[in-house]
Amino acid sequence: MKNRIFEGCATALITPMLSDGKVDFQRLEKLVESQIKSGIDALVICGTTGEKSTLRYDEHLKVIEVAAKACNKRVPIIAGTGSNDTVYSVELCRDAETLGADALLMVTPYYNKTSQRGLVNHYNYIADRVTKPIILYNVPSRTGVNIKPETYKELAKHERIVATKEASGDISQIAEIKYLCGDDLDIYSGNDDQTVPVLSLGGIGVISVASNIIPTQMSKLCHEYLNGNTDVAREMQNKYFGLLKALFYDVNPIPVKTAMNLMGLSVGECRPPLFPMDNKTTEALKQKLIECNLL
């Protein structure tokens, strides 16, 4: 078995913004501290939920640096460093490593995409040139590329490719990945509403959007399951299912930032082209927060 990055729940942390659209680094430090005190197992910085795609290179690195310093090695910091440009990804990975990242989250190439053979070459090229462990990130609804199970099997041969965030939503595919890769590749659910199903197939945790607002609960859900208390975990999954769905009433991270603002956390809005939800959808989200005693 390869070295494991974490078990349980990692928060795909939002990037807080000021009213002028600049990154709110003071709020970021407070969020990191709050997450750690709430019992989260790891933090993903500059992923999809962290609005990586609208951060300039210097902002991207600064967010990683500030989060890593605030964390101070208390939990793993996983930096989103994937790109559709292989050489650029290497540069970003190396800078993130220097700034304190403990692991790298690598989304599949998007827009220009690539073949399955291309994915193997892309990831192995990067893995050969970095020092930290890599979590693959498979989210075909956003990228137009799906990592097939047999491709996972090939990628898992590399010593630094240790895990995947599976957000394909395809439970049968995840079962086949586990079958083909065994202990050579850890699997994290990339969808909050599939956390228990993925754990039941041998997954070891979730990279969560919901844990921005319910970190203690999402971490507890995972550890209850991993400790054999499957009934407790299943009950928690069912209890929060409505909220987990509500956090995707609009494009992520619009709803979770809206929820955090409703809860008084003052994280600002998303950067364009993401815009605030309409009043009707916001009210529906608010009702789910009330039902879960978060407002």
**From 123, 132, 152, 165, active-site residue:** 165
Residue from 123, 132, 137, 257 carrying the catalytic annotation: 137
Q: How far apart are CA 225 and CA 204, in angstroms?
A: 9
CA dihedral 60, 61, 63, 65 (to 10 degrees): 170
pLDDT, tens digit, 9 for 90 and up, residues 97-137: 999 999 999 999 999 999 999 999 999 999 999 999 999 99
- pLDDT tens per residue across span 24-76: 999 999 999 999 999 999 999 999 999 999 999 999 999 999 999 999 999 99
Q: Which residues of 50-73 are buried (b: 16+ CB within 10 A; e: fewer)?
A: bbbbbbeeebbbbbbbbbbebbee
pTM: 0.97
Q: Which of 108, 52, 196, 170 is nearest to 208 (CA)?
A: 196
Tell me, what amino acid is at 197? P
- Rounded CA-CA distance 36/216 in Å is 10
Specify the fold of 8-233: TIM Barrel (3.20.20)
User: 2 falls in which pLDDT band (50, 70, 90)?
Assistant: confident
165 part of the active site: yes
Q: Is 137 a catalytic residue?
A: yes
Residues 33, 68: contact at Cβ < 8 Å?
no
As a whole number of angstroms, the distance between CA 50 and CA 225 comes to: 27
* Per-residue pLDDT reduced to its tens digit, 7-16: 999 999 999 9
